[in-house]
C-alpha cells in the first residue's frame, strides 16, 4: 500500500461492501482528518440521483476544490461535513476531491436513503 493512496472499505450494513481509495495529494488535510476519524458510520442520503452522501461530523475547510466529478469519484462537502460518492458525472458543485470507488459501485447506486454506511480501514 502506498502512503499517498489509502485503500478503505465502504460497507452498507446488511447489503455488502466495496473498496475505495483516498489519494492524499488531492486534499491532504481533508484526507488526513478523515483517516484519523475512522471508522466513520452514518446514514445514507441521496441527492437528486447525482450522488449519495453521509454526514461525518467533521468540520473541514475548503481545500483544492473542484467542480467536476466523474461516476465513482469521492468528494467532501464542506457545507455539512459530508462524504459524497458520485453516481454519475456532476458539474457545477464545489467539493474537496478525495479519491474514487475501485469496485462494486453498483452496490452504492442501489443504496436507499436511511441505509447505514460505514467507511473503515481494510
1 pLDDT exceeds 70? no
Q: What is the pLDDT of residue 10?
A: 97
Task: Name the percent of the chain lying above pLDDT 70.
Answer: 98
Q: Give 3-38 pLDDT, tens digit per residue.
A: 789 999 999 999 999 999 999 999 999 999 999 999
Q: Give 28-66 pLDDT, tens digit per residue.
A: 999 999 999 999 999 999 999 999 999 999 999 999 999
Annotated domain spans of the chain: 5-121
Q: Are 42 and 56 in contact (CB under 8 A)?
A: yes
The pTM of the full predicted model, rounded to 2 decimals, is: 0.95
CATH assignment of 5-121, given 3.30.499.10, 2.40.100.20, 3.40.50.970, 3.20.20.70?
2.40.100.20
Looking at residue 113, what DSSP letter applies?
T
Amino acid at each position: 500500500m502506498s502512503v499517498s493512496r489509502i485503500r478503505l472499505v465502504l460497507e452498507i450494513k446488511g447489503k455488502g461492501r466495496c473498496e475505495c481509495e483516498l489519494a492524499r495529494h488531492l486534499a491532504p488535510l481533508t484526507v488526513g482528518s478523515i483517516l484519523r476519524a475512522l471508522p466513520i458510520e452514518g446514514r445514507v442520503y441521496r441527492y437528486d440521483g447525482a450522488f449519495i452522501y453521509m454526514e461525518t461530523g467533521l468540520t473541514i475547510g475548503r481545500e483544492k476544490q473542484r467542480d467536476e466529478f466523474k461516476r465513482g469519484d469521492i468528494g467532501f462537502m464542506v457545507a455539512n461535513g459530508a462524504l459524497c460518492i458520485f453516481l454519475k458525472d456532476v458539474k457545477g458543485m464545489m467539493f474537496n476531491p478525495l479519491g474514487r470507488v475501485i469496485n462494486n459501485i453498483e452496490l452504492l447506486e442501489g443504496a436507499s436513503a436511511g441505509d447505514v454506511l460505514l467507511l473503515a480501514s481494510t
